[in-house]
Each structure stands twice: as C-alpha cells, then as structure tokens.
C-alpha cells in the first residue's frame, strides 16, 4: 500500500498540458472598495466572506495581531485585501486571511489558542462561521487584550492591555476605519469560473503550486462535495481500489471521483479543457437536491460491489505502479451507463479479464497517450470501454 506522499508518486494522470487556460478569453474586472472594519466583521458573521479550504490555518500570534489593530486605530496604512466575488455579497478571501481574522477575533474579544486552530478551522469550514458556543469556550479561545510594547518610544502605549469593549473613544474610530479591498469578479462567461484558478494561483500560491482540485473544492463547495468527501474517507473498498489507505492531502483522489461522475453524468457536454469541464460540472452539482446526491452515492456503492472480486491493484498501471485514472474513469462511466440512464443501481460484477483487455487495447491506449483531453480521444476511450467492459 502507498503512503500519503506527493500525488504524482501514485497517480498516473493522463492530462498532458491540454488544460492550460487562456485568461484573455474571459472578462474579468477588479474594483477597489473601502469596506470599514464593522462591515467586514458582519460579512464574516453572516457567512458572506469565506476562507478557501486550501488556505492555511490562522497562524499569527497575539502580538502581531495587536500591532495590526493598533495600526488601524492610529490610521496607519495596512495592506489591502483581495476578495473574489462568487455572487452578489458572497466572497472568497484570495489574500489577507491573517489580517481579516485578526480584526474579527479582536472585535469578538477572543483569540484562538494555538493547539486548537486546526479544529477551529474545521468548524469554520463546516458551519461557515465560528459559532458563539465555540468562541466563548475557553478550551478553544482566550481573551484578546492588546499585547503591545510598554513604550513607543519614551511614551506609555495607551492601547496596551485594552480590548474591544474598553477602547473608549477609539472604538468608533476602529469600527469606521476603512480598509482597501480589491474585489475580483468574472463577468463573462457567467457559467465558467475557470479563469479564477489563475487569479488564485498568482495571488495565493506563495511559491507553492496549488492544485486545481483544491481551488475547485473551495469555489464550488456543496452537498455533492460533502458526499464525495464521505465516499473518499469512509469507503474501504474505494481506498482499496486506489491502493492507498488514507486520503490524499492535495485532493487528487477527490478529483478522480469527480471525473468519474462527470463523465457518467455530463459526458455529452464534454469539451476541453478538463479543468473547465470539471469546473462546470462542479458548478452544476451545487443545485443537486438531497435525493439526487443520495442516488449517486448508492450508484457508486453498487460500482464498488461490482469491483469486490477484482484482484488487488486492478486499476494500477502495470508499468509504473501508479493509479491509472484513464482506465478507472472509462470503466466507471461505461459500467454505470445503463444503470444511470434507468435510474437504478448496477447489477452484477466487473470481469477482470475484460478490464485487462481494455487496458491493452490499441485504440484505448492510443487515446490515452497523446492529446488525452481532446474530445475525440475522451470519446474513444469511453466508447472502447463500453465495447469491451460493457454495462452493468
């Protein structure tokens, strides 16, 4: 079994560069806005502002956060924030998480304990806000009194030890302090946010390559994605097919699940690039009702049942021992085609001999080697899987 190292170590990704996005195809605007401190705080409280899931946890200490608050009270310049407007009054933070959350925590008069920040972030991601029951739980937070030097210089620091409720006349000064926000919005096409991937990467990568699925998960979070997380973490047979016991840190396994469902459900609408196709499918799935998500999970469970007698490593590339995404994706879409069309679950079992025949089929292999995300090659792989593996 593989460990949870780099995804490139254990996934044989067939995408070969066809997914590069051309930003000039999009109409993107950036507009400056001067939201004041209280407005930004209310945005977080209402869930209008979210921190993308791929961003790191809050890492500032109380001293650094206190210096930011002092700068705001004194009217000193602070760096601007970058927000991505998903829809009216719905924003994702592209850059400025540490500053924004420092302000929020000060107004709430609570500061997160270092050993609880991962858990707090999980709660924030799940509920969209930090609920009052957590904010006022001393296991998670402590009182936020400004931690500042005693003298600046030769003068007593008037703000040292104060909190939001004891600021006196400076409280309204802080509340109304404007902070420059650069709001990034894609105007067209309205049904494709692919260009925002490049904006996120350029403003938030910090020298680290953020994977498309990490950004996609943040931009299109939905109950459908919650179902994908559950499948990925809890289905033992799924982990067995991947030949990896624990979920991938960069969500490559989530992307594999997404590709399978996208090809099954939305195959007729496939057009390059793969990034764009998966974005559009993820966007559509935000409208799935509970019944549809539950059906898709039952359908997936029936696929796992159909795989239960396959030998271990069936979807691993025999040459490099990596997971063969092209083979899995084509098999998944072909095997479930009839079941999905008839709104039932799969019946029967997959035949290992047929899977091996598909893997070495000349037409299938050719379509998985070059130009892999071209419409003709995607269609050829799926067609060969239907002909060789069949439907359940």
pLDDT in tens, 129-183: 899 999 999 999 999 999 998 655 566 788 999 999 999 999 999 999 999 999 9
Where residue 11 falls among pLDDT bands split at 50, 70, 90? low
The pLDDT of residue 287: 94
**Three-state SS string across the chain, please?**
CCCCCCHHHCEECCCCCCCCCCHHHCEEEEEEEEEEHHHHHHHHHHCCEECCCCCCCCCCCHHHHHHHHHHHHHCCCCCCEEEEEEECCEEEEEECHHHHHHHHHHHHCEEECHHHHHHHHHHHHHHCCCCHHHHCCCCCEEECCCCCCCECCCCECCCCCCCHHHCCCHHHHHHCCEEEEEEEEEEECCCCCCHHHHHHHHHHCCCCCCCHHHHHHHHCCCHHHHHHHHHHHHCHHHHHHHCCCCCCCCCHHHHHHHHHHHHHHHHHHCCCCHHHHHHHHHHHHCCCCHHHHHHHHHHHHHHHHHCCCCCCCCCECCCCCCEEHHHHHHHHHHHCHHHHHCCCCCCCCCCHHHHHHHHHCHHHHHHCCCCCCCHHHHHHHHHHHHHHCCCC
pTM for the model: 0.73
Residue 242 has pLDDT above 90, yes or no: yes
pLDDT surpasses 60 at 4: no
């Amino acid at each position: 079994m593989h460990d949870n190292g780099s995804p490139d170590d254990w996934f044989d990704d067939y995408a070969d560069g066809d997914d590069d996005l051309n930003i000039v195809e999009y109409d993107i605007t950036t507009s400056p806005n001067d939201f004041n401190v209280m407005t930004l705080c209310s945005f977080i409280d209402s869930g209008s502002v979210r921190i993308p899931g791929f961003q790191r946890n809050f890492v500032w200490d109380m001293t650094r956060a206190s210096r930011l608050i002092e700068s705001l009270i004194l009217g000193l310049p602070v760096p601007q924030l970058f927000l991505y407007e998903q829809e009216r009054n719905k924003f994702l933070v592209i850059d400025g998480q540490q500053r924004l959350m420092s302000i929020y925590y000060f107004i709430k008069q609570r500061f997160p304990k270092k050993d609880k920040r991962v858990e707090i972030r999980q709660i924030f991601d799940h509920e969209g806000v930090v609920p009052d029951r957590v904010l006022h739980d001393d296991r998670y937070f402590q009182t936020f009194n400004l931690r500042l030097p005693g003298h600046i210089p030769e003068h007593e620091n008037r703000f040292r030890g104060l909190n939001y409720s004891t600021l006196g006349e400076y409280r309204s000064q802080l509340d109304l302090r404007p902070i420059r926000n650069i709001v990034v919005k894609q105007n067209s096409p309205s049904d494709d946010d692919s260009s925002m991937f490049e904006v996120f990467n350029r403003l938030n990568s910090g020298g680290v390559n953020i994977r498309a699925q990490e950004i996609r998960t943040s931009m299109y979070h939905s109950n459908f994605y919650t179902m994908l997380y559950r499948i990925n973490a809890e289905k033992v047979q799924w982990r067995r097919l991947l030949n990896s016991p624990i979920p991938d840190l960069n969500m490559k396994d989530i992307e594999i699940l997404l590709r399978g469902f996208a090809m099954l459900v939305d195959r007729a609408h496939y057009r390059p690039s793969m990034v764009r196709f998966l974005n559009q499918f993820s966007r559509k799935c935000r409208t799935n009702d509970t019944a549809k998500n539950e059906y898709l999970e039952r359908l997936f469970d029936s696929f796992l049942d159909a795989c239960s007698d396959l030998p271990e490593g069936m979807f691993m590339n025999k040459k490099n021992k990596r997971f063969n995404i092209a083979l899995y994706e084509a098999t998944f879409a072909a095997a479930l085609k009839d079941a999905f069309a008839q709104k039932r679950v799969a019946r029967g079992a997959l035949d290992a001999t047929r899977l091996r025949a598909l893997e070495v089929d000349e037409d299938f292999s050719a379509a998985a080697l070059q130009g892999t995300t071209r419409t003709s090659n995607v269609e050829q792989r799926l067609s060969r899987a239907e002909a060789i593996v069949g439907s359940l």
